[in-house]
Structure 1
Amino acid sequence: MEEENFRININPDWIRKYLGKIALGIFILAGIFSSVKTVGPEEEGVVIQLGQFNRTVQPGLNFIIPYGVETMYKIPVQRQLKQEFGFRTTQAGIESEYSTSGFGEESLMLTGDLNLTDVEWVVQYRITDSYRYLFKVRNAEKTLRDMSESVMRKVVGDRTVNEVLTVGRQEVASSVEVRLQELCDEYENGIRIDQVVLQDVNPPEPVKPSFNAVNEAQQERETLINQAEAEYNRVIPRARGEAEQTIQLAEAFALNRVNRAKGEAERFNALYASYVKAPEVTKQRIYLETMEKVLPKIGNKIIVDEKGNNVLPLLNIDKVKTPQQ
């Protein structure tokens, strides 16, 4: 009897009305939650209305038309992004952990001298135009990855394995950065390349011992060349200095001889002019000056007359007088 009374008291119209209000409330709440979108400080919101670009919204709280009329894509335009090739970061932190297994196909490359090398690199980039990033290129991330791998293979293929492994690493990274940016500008994908970093460049594992032996030989060669250049720099400047000194001494000697010869010639000319004016006086003076120079240099002196009859000994003639005498 009680069950029959309960069934009689329930009004179907009231149930339909109550359920309708609940459904309307759920519909309104779902619309509110789906229309409120929060854009982060490093992001930019791109609103698509019925499959077509409508507007771009800035960071903060934004509203869109709910129920699929409008959708929003959040693009990190202020954040630096990166793509890794030949390895993947498994755990980032102070001591990051990396994994290289399974990525050999994208890192193994052929150099210009037909050698294989394993190149691991990182492309760091930013999204500068969210519209172009979403609508100019289909799947911009995958396209950028394919472009990076293609450009790296081209640049490595233009160089020898020694250049890629040693001195040409920075040049390879710079060339890839420039060419990759040119492709991004050409495809208008709204991406700016910040940096290309060669993480690690190694020969393939099977031939790594042979490459290490070649590198050791090259380093030894460079050491010997440096030692030879040091010895050259030590000996050659000294020899050049000695040669320069000899040349300067010879030039000084030549200048001295020339000046003395000119002086002797001028003295002879002056003496000749005096001889022309007074021959006897000049001859007598030359004779006396000559004897004055010659006599102190000979030993004992004996003076005789013209006929040799009378001898005049000069005592103490060869003794040098002291300042007291």
Structure 2
Amino acid sequence: MMSLKRIYTTVFLVILAAVIGSVALTSWYTVDQSEQAVIMTFGKVEEGISEPGLHFKMPWPIQTVETMSKETFSLQFGYEEKDGEIVEFTNDTKMITGDENIVLADMVVMWKISEPGKYLFNSDDPQAVLYNATSASLRSIIGSTQIDEALTSGKAQIEVEVFDLLTSLMETYDIGISITSVNLQDVELPNEEVRKAFTDVTDAREMENTKNNEAKRYQNQRMNEAEGEKDAIISKAEGEKAERIERARGDVAKFNSLYKEYVNAPELTRKRLILETMEEVLPYAEIYIMNDDGNTMKYFPLRTENPAPKPPANPEGSGNNE
């Protein structure tokens, strides 16, 4: 029969082997490149995240380790894709725009675990919190956006504003989640009739913009042509101005020259001017000087060896016989 001492010794050795085995098995842990770990001492989270590799800790139950992925996760808001099929959640995506129109909007949110301790213990279901925060952010931004912008050119701005608001909510909730990006998938009208009506309105607006652009192009063309004509008229006027100024200067110079001649020989110059003026005024006339006795005498005809041609005959057959 086995003695009591031997029984105690056997039990002690079994317990010691169990303790040693537990220490040997729970005093180390490994972290993969795609993982992050958090150590808890008697349930209290220690600060810091372990780097990839082999690490040692105090044995269970003093310290325990929780490992989580460092990858970026995708949250599909408003729909779910399973086995290649998309299931839409219309009640989640139906929203009212700033001008009181109804649209359907869904979104993909990319997120990751930034603080594992907070992710584990600051919320019972952090992914549900993220989903509800995404819904609140998207509804808030859509609710302050006009339907035209939401359906057309305003999608990028909606994404920026949703990202900022959702990031702010995650910081407020402090659940260890960080947002990397948000992508607005679709914003559409709830039924076919409304879609058709909006399409007609959009087409009319695009036609209006096209006509306005064509009118502006025509206006700019006409304005450029008018500017060119204006510059041409101004240039021509400036040329005529310069020509008339030079002609006036020439006339002044000619007058001054005649005046000098007139001062030296006034009577001769006066007669000369009269004869030259008569030659210009009556280029085809012959001048005769009358004596006091009334006899006509050709005293000094103003002729050249090659007289100028006679003016054309009067169409009515009448002429001068002087």
In structure 2, the residue matched to 1:62 is 55
- Paired position in structure 1 for 2:316: none
Residue 302 (structure 1) aligns with: 286
Pairwise CA distance, 1:125: 3.1
> How far apart are 1:203 and its partner, in Å?
0.9
What displacement does 1:193 show?
Answer: 2.9
SS in 2 for 1:302: coil
CA contact (8 A) 2:81 2:87 kept: no
Work out whether 1:194 is the aligned partner of 2:180. yes
Q: 1:315 to 1:282 in 2, by over 3 A?
A: closer
Aligned pair in 2 of structure 1 residues 51, 271: CA closer, same or farther (>3 Å)? Answer: farther
Aligned residue among 140, 145, 148 for 2:131: 145
CA displacement at 1:134 relative to structure 2: 4.1
- Identity of paired residues, percent? 29
Cα pair distance change 1:23/1:221, threshold 3 Å:
farther
The correspondence for 2:145, drawn from 141, 159, 171, is 159
Moved more, 172-181 or 157-166: 172-181
1:202 shift after superposition: 0.8
What is the aligned partner in structure 1 of residue 220 from structure 2?
Answer: 233
How far did residue 129 of structure 1 move?
3.7
SS of match in other structure, 2:149: helix
- CA distance 1:202–1:27, shift in 2 (3 Å): farther
Once the 2 structures are TM-superposed, how far is the Cα of residue 137 of structure 1 from its aligned partner? Answer: 5.4
Q: What CA distance in whole angstroms lies between the structure 2 residues aligned with 1:99 and 1:24?
A: 57
Alignment of 1:65-84 (within 5 A): 65-77=58-70, 79-84=71-76
Secondary structure of the 1:37 match is strand
- TM-score (normalizing by structure 2): 0.74
How many angstroms apart in 2 are the aligned matches of 1:289 and 1:253? 28
Secondary structure at the aligned position of 2:162 is classed as helix
Q: 1:267 to 1:153 in 2, by over 3 A?
A: farther
Q: Which residue of 1 aligns with 2:235?
A: 248
Amino acid at match of 2:191: E
| SS of corresponding position for 2:290 | coil
Pair 1:221-2:211 in alignment: no
Deviations 1:178-199 (A, max 9, x none): 2223333444444443322111
Matches within 5 A, 1:43-192: 43-55=35-47, 56-77=49-70, 79-90=71-82, 97=84, 99-101=86-88, 103-135=89-121, 139-192=125-178
Note the C-alpha offset of 1:86: 1.5
Distance 2:10 2:55 in 1: 33
Q: Structure 1: which 5+ residue stretches go unaligned? A: 1-10, 92-96, 321-325
SS at match of 2:244: helix
Question: CA offset at residue 84 of structure 1?
Answer: 1.7
Query: Residue 287 and residue 151 in structure 1: after superposition, are their counterparts in 2 closer, same or farther (change >3 A)?
Result: same
Shift in alpha-carbon separation, 1:304–1:227, aligned structure 2, 3 A: closer
Could you say which residue in structure 2 is the equivalent of 1:209?
A: 196
How many residues align? The count is 301
Q: Which residue does the alignment assign to 1:283?
A: 270
Q: Give the letter for the 2:54 counterpart.
A: L
Closer, same or farther: CA 90–21 of 1 in aligned 2, 3 Å: farther
Paired residue type of 1:305: I
Q: Hey, what does 1:41 align to over in structure 2?
A: 33
Which amino acid counterpart does residue 120 of structure 1 have in structure 2?
D
1:86 partner amino acid: G
Deviation by residue 1:13-61 (Cα, 9 ceiling, x = unmatched): 9999999989987886676555553322132211112210124321123
Q: Distance in 2 between matches of 1:108 and 1:28?
A: 60
State the superposition RMSD in angstroms. 3.9
| Contact map agreement 1:181 1:193 (CA 8 A) in 2 | yes
Aligned to 2:320: none
Rounded Cα–Cα distance in structure 2 between residues aligned with 1:235 and 1:274: 58
Residues 265-292 of structure 1 deviation map (CA, whole Å, 9 limit, x = unaligned) = 5654564465456533543453465456
Number of the residue aligned with 1:8:
none
SS at match of 1:204: coil
SS in structure 1 of the partner of residue 46 of structure 2: strand
For structure 2, list consecutive stretches of 5 or more residues without a partner in the other structure.
310-322
